[in-house]
Amino acid sequence: MKIDQYTELYGIIGYPVRHSLSPLMHNTAFEAVGINAVYLAFETRDLKAVTEGMKALPIKGMSVTTPHKIRIIDHLDDLHALASQIGSVNTVVNHDGRLIGFNTDASGALRALEGKVRLEDTHSLIVGAGGAARSIAFALKEMGAIVTITNRTASKGKALTKALGCGFVPWEKMDHIEAELIVQTTPLGMAPDINACPIPVSILKPGITVMDIIYNPRCTRLLRLAQSRGCQIIDGVSMFVHQGAEQFRLWTNVDPPLRVMEE
Ligand code: NAP
């Protein structure tokens, strides 16, 4: 990669953020299409300084990951309609000094499910109620799915169900739900703690679809258990690539090199 006086800067903010594969994916994509840019990981909690720095330097675009997807909104100049409806931002575009927030998690999740499962009237259980769960629950509801949320901290889960108009089931009672689609959105099972699994095997019925949005490891313990019980499984790489591809397009106006990004 050649870095010179014209190189543009992009990045990801989060805390922690060193586990992220976004730098590898976006730098590979920039190189593949011949864009003179670099993408770095910034482990930070100071969103005011980040947004001021984005304008001052300028940094062209930023991915936003946990735990900043909701709090970043207070520091932006404008929000795309979908990000505003969902109330979660995973992408910031620096448009001539104005910082605009977008959400590509929702469409990334839908693209990952596309062609694999019918969503209309499908009983869906979302495990977790953080930023990613919020986007996915919104997207599934928009597609006509019947959504129930469960979360370790009941108050947060209930607040999300109230905001989105879906059902809630307590964490310890998630096996009472007859779900045709389960979407796992907590970090449980992510490296290095790869033996964790938040979902009781009793709800992994043959024929249902289980998506785990963790992408490291690609096949989590949950997905291995689900596959062994005859469920269709969808790993987190597909959503990761599609949400990143839409970010790439928003930042560069160039078609993202999907195959390279997935590799
Ligand atoms: P977040 O906003 O911090 O939310 C985390 C959620 O996980 C909360 O519901 C939290 O519950 C729950 N949780 C955390 N630790 C837990 C534990 N030990 N036991 C039970 N529940 C726990 O994070 P996020 O942005 O939604 O991201 C969550 C995960 O999704 C991360 O692993 C991230 O890498 C992954 N992700 C993947 C993609 C993709 O494209 N594949 C996109 C976005 C995120 P409480 O409310 O009780 O704290």
DSSP E strands: which ranges in 61-135?
61-64, 78-79, 91-95, 98-102, 123-127
Distance from residue 205's CA to the centre of ligand 1 (Å): 24
Assess whether pLDDT exceeds 90 at residue 64.
yes
Q: Which of 24, 66, 190 to mutate to test the pocket of ligand 1 (most atoms within 8 A of CB)?
A: 66
Q: What is the pLDDT of residue 123?
A: 98
**From residue 71, how far is each of 48, 50, 89, 101 by CA, in Å?**
10, 12, 9, 12
Answer for the pair 255, 249: CB distance below 8 angstroms, yes or no.
Answer: yes
Considering the chain, what percentage of its residues have pLDDT values greater than 70?
100
Distance from residue 189's CA to the centre of ligand 1 (Å): 11
Given pLDDT bands bounded at 50, 70 and 90, which one contains residue 19?
confident
Instruction: Give the chain's mean pLDDT.
Output: 97
Which residue puts its alpha carbon closest to atom 32 of ligand 1?
Answer: 187
Assess whether pLDDT exceeds 80 at residue 1.
no
Q: Read off the pTM.
A: 0.94
Q: Could you identify the residue written with the tokens 């590799």? A: 263
Burial class (CB in 10 A: 0-12, 13-18, 19+), 74: exposed
Q: What is the pLDDT of residue 161?
A: 96
Q: Is the CB of 133 under 6 A from ligand 1?
A: yes
Per residue in 123-151, pLDDT (tens digit) is 999 999 998 999 999 999 999 999 999 99
Torsion sign (Cα): 216, 222, 228, 231? negative
Per residue in 228-258, pLDDT (tens digit) is 999 999 999 999 999 999 999 999 999 999 9
